[in-house]
Chains A and B, each alone.
Chain A
Amino acid sequence: MILGVIEHDRGKLNEASLEMLTLARALGSPVEAVLLGADAAAFQETLKEHGVSKIYEAKHEGLGDYAPRAWGKSVAQLVRAKNPRAVLAAGTDRGNEVMAHAGALLGVPVASNCTEIRPQDGVFEVTRLRWGGSLLEDAELRADPKLLTVAPHAVSAEPAPAPEIAVEAFSPTLEEADWRVRVVAREEREQKGVPLTEAKVVVGGGRGVGSAEGFKILEELAELLGGAVGGSRVATNNGWRPHSDQIGQTGVQIAPDLYIACGISGAIQHIVGVKGAKYILAINKDPEAPIFQRADFGIVGDLHEVVPALIEEIKKVKGK
């Protein structure tokens, strides 16, 4: 049996779980799923559509809202009881956290953020992300049971209906100490303008921008194109932009139609955040900057002259 850990937030399914199930089905059958802190009824149809033949519905008062250790311990107990060949979750914040707890309790490592899994006798050959996706690692997972998480967007979610789906309740044994770490409150974030991760055009600024003030022209350009502003780690570390604007390995990953990189050298840890961009326009005064090897279009020049000229020209074209 292959077991999938279904991720949800207060009953709302995380789509990355369906990508995980697509990969899980390639490892063997049956594919079964464990659901924590939610009723199986709401998920039954979708999971059946994606090849799940049984849902283990964990019932416990400690599984109300998200509680990482209680979720991980429940998974570990189910694994001990049912002996799946492999256990998979989505490679998200929660998926990796729950599997880390399960792995710790079961005494086996987790192969996290896999993009490919090739089962061999007793060993799984996996390909997983390293350096935030800048490199791929081929590795051997020798442990038993095999715990893995699937890198988001590594495969697309394909439905493959199971003939039937059963629901089996199970009651994990949890102590209060297991669920004392849980979400106790939430705060909504106020959002000004288009969110960076959804913008069709992103104007990114790096060291070349020089100051928080310097970002004004980038903001103007972004506004003109209906986009958002982001930055490199140098820009956020210098306090020119809030960290939530950082693009790259330890920031956000974006996939706009156009990314305009201004005064950014093009370090791999930055570029990994814009791999999904359709087009990249680089503005940099150094013709040798690595960004020109990754961009589609380039302007060699001082951004403090080029960006204002660009703004004027776009205004002209737009008839403003």
Chain B
Amino acid sequence: MRVLVCVKRVPDTGARFELTPDGRDIDTRNLEFTISPHEECAVEEAIRLVEQHGGESAVLTLGPEAAAEQLREALAKGIDKGVLLETDGSEWDPAATAQAIAQAVRELESADGPFDLVLFGNESADAGYYQVGVRVADALDRPCVAGVKGLKVENGKAQARREASGGWEIYELPLPCVVTVKEGINVPRHPSLRGIMTAKKKEIRRLTPEKPAMQLVKKGLRKPPERGGECEILGEGVAAVPKAVEKLKEIGVI
């Protein structure tokens, strides 16, 4: 079984967002980078599927040279190969991103054979367009289901479970297919020391896609109004408890 998983490099923003003075971007000078939790689960799912069924896994990202870091992390966890679609780091709209990924999948498949499964996150952590995976599926004319929190592959078919109001919806897809994953489908592993060492030797293929004209263009970022008010510190340790219970009475929960 051959599985491809697509991830996006995003800043790990921590406790609060700091914007650049022009308000166009997040100030990333003091930040580490990561991928969305959904994508971490997609990576984990790809590793598990290949552990179960044999075969090969690959991880792909479209982003700046620095995004190789996110590929290495996935390789350290057990993904076999990396693919970097290198850009100048500027923002791509979801139609352009999907087009470049679909084109890369065609190239990779003509070299090494088809992927039975292409995995995505349900939405990217930063842009949250909720569409790149679905668009790649349509571009490749493959069946797709989004928001999956349970996946089984058997006899050339995938069974996907998705949470819906009050329960689960179940979908069946013939392979090859595309699935977008939500956090909760599994608990991702941490890379082992040995994994980190072997990742350094794994292959990362580089392709340079051409950037088309953008049809959805970010102009600026703003912080939404925050929860207002001052925090009233009721005290330290157990000594604060009587006062806390008074407050709970006041606001009507006791």
| Interface hit among A43-51, A55-63, A207-215, A250-258 | A250-258
The answer to whether A107 touches B95 (Cβ under 8 A) is: yes
- The reply on B31 being an interface residue by CB < 8 A is no
Query: Which range contains the number of B residues in contact with the other chain?
Result: 35 or more
A281 at the interface (CB under 8 A from B): yes
Report how far A306 CA is from B242 CA in the complex, Å: 11
Cβ of B236 and Cβ of A300 under 8 Å apart?
A: yes
Which one, A20-28, A79-87, A264-272, is touching chain B? A264-272
- A109 at interface by CB-CB < 8 Å: yes
Which A residues from 125 to 142 make CB contacts under 8 A with B? 125, 129-142
* Cβ contacts under 8 Å, B98 to chain A: 104
A189 on the interface (CB 8 Å rule)?
A: yes
Chain B residues near A183 (CB-CB < 8 A)? 169-171
Complex partner residue of B184 from A134, A246, A268, CB under 8 angstroms: A246
A185 interface residue (CB < 8 Å to B): yes
Stretch among B46-54, B103-111, B144-152, B202-210 lining the A interface: B144-152
Q: Which of B55-63, B78-86, B124-132 is found at the contact surface with chain A?
A: B124-132
Contacting pair B165 A129 (CB below 8 A):
no
Cα distance, A186 to B170, chains bound together (Å): 6
B138 on interface, CB distance cutoff 8 Å? yes
**Contact (A96, B131) CB under 8 Å given A180-B174, A183-B170, A281-B244:** yes
Partner of B223, one of A135, A299, A309: A135
Q: How far is the CA of A140 from the CA of B149 in the complex (A)?
A: 33
- Asked if residues A296 and B131 are in contact (CB atoms below 8 Å), the reply is no
Query: A135's contact among B187, B224, B244, by CB below 8 Å, is which?
Result: B224
Asked whether A192 is an interface residue with its Cβ less than 8 Å from the other chain, the reply is no
* Cβ-neighbour of B238 out of A9, A69, A184, A301 (below 8 A): A301
Of the stretches A29-37, A110-118, A156-164, A165-173, the one at the interface is A110-118
Interface residue? B22 (CB, 8 A): no
**Contact of B37 with A250 in the complex, beta carbons under 8 Å:** yes
- Asked if A317 contacts B245 (CB within 8 A), the reply is yes
Say whether A54 faces chain B, with CB atoms less than 8 Å apart: no
Please give the distance in Å from A42's CB to the nearest CB on chain B. Answer: 18
Contact between chains at B224 and A131 (CB < 8 Å): no
**Distance (Å) between the CB of A135 and the closest chain B CB?**
5
Q: Which of A105, A112, A131, A239 is in CB contact (< 8 Å) with B129?
A: A112
> Is the CB of B33 closer than 8 A to any CB of chain A?
no
Within 8 A of A (CB), among B206-238: 214-224, 226-227, 229, 231-238
CB-based nearest B residue for A294: B227
Of A100, A143, A290, which contacts B216 at CB under 8 A?
A: A143
**Residue among A136, A142, A281 making CB contact with B222, cutoff 8 Å:** A136
- Chain B min CB distance to A275 (Å): 6
Taking CB atoms, residues of chain A closer than 8 Å to B229 are 296
A-B contact pairs, 15 of them (CB 8 A): A9-B164, A97-B134, A100-B146, A109-B93, A109-B129, A109-B131, A130-B221, A131-B128, A134-B17, A135-B224, A186-B167, A189-B167, A297-B231, A313-B245, A317-B249
A109-B129, A269-B13 known; 6 other A-B pairs, CB under 8 Å?
A138-B220, A186-B167, A201-B253, A249-B125, A299-B235, A301-B240
CB-CB nearest 10 A-B residue pairs: A243-B184, A100-B131, A100-B134, A104-B138, A301-B237, A96-B130, A143-B215, A290-B15, A109-B95, A104-B135
